Amino acid sequence: MSISDVYRTLVVALLACGSLTAAVCRGQSTSTAAQVQPASATWDDWLREIRDGRDALEWSDRRVAHDWRLQQHSGGVRWRLLDPGDEVVVAGPRGDCETTFLRLQAAGTIPTVSGPTVLVLHGLGQGRQSMQPLVTHLRQTLDATVLSIGYASPQAGLEVHADTLNDVIKQLPEATTLSFVGHSLGNLVVRRWMATAPPPTLQRVQRMVMLGPPNQGSELARLASRIWFLAMLSDGPTRQLGIDWEKVGSQLAVPPCDFGIVAGGTGDERGMSLLLAGDDDAIVRVEETRLTGASGFLILPVHHADMMRDTAVQRAAVCFLREGRFPEADASQAADEPAGDTEAVAAPGARDEADGHGG
């Protein structure tokens, strides 16, 4: 394990500890990356979860068609094709994997993605499986293709992850509209992609739902950076969320479409974490989620790591993707509140170009 790997592990552990501390102090349940396994879990179950967790931090999707995915390892050389059961169909050079993908697609084994499409992106230190409860709900309730996108979140900066997302989107020419649901860092990956995406593609973007987005950086990441040896080892998104936020924040686009924000919090100044000032979801402060221009802003009593499983969050996401607004019964705050000091870049293709595609 390299020094950088040690740093990433410590930061992810800090995030998990924030959520755990909140649960202990507030007497609420939590769901961290290290959940207690049921008594019936076998040794094979444990090994599979360890393998899946490691894979999630090392592999990024470069092409996705329903649950078929062409992936690249963070090392850059290895590629593989996974079937809907996440079993490896072929592994090796990029050309071999792409050839197999195209052959299976031509045979009809891999269906083409067409019509309204929703892309779901996970957060830092997580993988596609963390979003599965939400993905399942979206697929059951929306008349759209829902794609769960995985990326090796700790291994590179936002610009690299935005590039891999661009590769995925370029392979979706028959998707008539594109909407996004992001959790935490996943929102910043989308905003970074929007900052450089070509206007014709942005015109297909319909709506975006942000779950616990660190739109103003992360105080928790800044706290970690104040520990001298962590600051020295800091790299990738953990550094960008803290030490380098002033530069990074200016490279993120305000979505050129209707977008809504769901923040977790208690609705008062206590919050869920003893480490953070003001209201928070144990990881991200409510004020850090704000972004000027949002069509809706919602605070729900849910922990950062639990958002994907929370029924109120799921209901809010579906409502916004369908109608461009959150359920009135859940609405807690107006959208156009101050977003903070970070100045975001407007995406190529102005909002007025996208208005005709908002649905």
Backbone dihedral angles phi then psi of residue 257, each to the nearest 5 degrees: -155, 175
Cβ contact 260:333 at 8 Å? no
Checking if the pLDDT of 335 tops 80, the result is no
Q: Give me the residue label for tokens 């790997």.
A: 5
Closest CA to 63 of 80, 39, 46, 85: 80
Checking if the pLDDT of 336 tops 50, the result is no
At residue 125, the pLDDT reads 83
Torsion on CA atoms 319, 353, 344, 303, rounded to nearest 10: 10
Q: Give the C-alpha separation, 251 to 105, whole Å.
A: 36
Other C-beta atoms within 10 Å of 152: how many? 23
At residue 236, the pLDDT reads 55
At residue 348, the pLDDT reads 53
Query: b/e for 33-66, b at 16 or more Cβ within 10 A?
Result: beeeeeeeeeeeeeeebeeebebbbbbbbbbbbe
Cβ contact 328:42 at 8 Å? no
DSSP state of 330: T
Instruction: State the DSSP string of 55-117.
Output: HHTTEEEEEEETTEEEEEETTSS-EEEE-TT--EEEEESHHHHHHHHHHHHHTTSSPPP-SEE
Closest CA to 47 of 62, 57, 37: 37
Cα 307 vs. chain centroid, distance in angstroms? 12
At residue 153, the pLDDT reads 80
Biggest distance spanned by C-alpha atoms of the chain: 57
Cβ contact 165:72 at 8 Å? no
Beta bridge partners of 68: 65
Cβ contact 290:261 at 8 Å? yes
Mean pLDDT of 69-82: 93
Q: Give me the amino acid identity at 50.
A: I
- Residue 338 token pair: 């101050």
pLDDT mean across residues, the chain: 80
Lowest mean pLDDT among 18-32, 128-142, 227-241: 18-32
Domain 3-30+115-357 listed as CATH 3.40.50.1820: yes
Helix (H) or strand (E) holding 299: strand 296-300
pLDDT tens track for 283-298 = 999 999 999 999 999 9
Domain boundaries along the sequence of the chain? 3-30+115-357, 42-112
- Residue 323 token pair: 């109608």
Checking if the pLDDT of 266 tops 80, the result is yes
- Residue 284 token pair: 């991200």
Q: Give the C-alpha separation, 79 to 60, whole Å.
A: 10
At residue 287, the pLDDT reads 95
Cβ contact 118:144 at 8 Å? yes
Backbone dihedral angles phi then psi of residue 197, each to the nearest 5 degrees: -70, 145
pLDDT tens track for 90-140 = 999 999 999 999 999 999 999 999 999 999 999 988 899 999 999 999 999
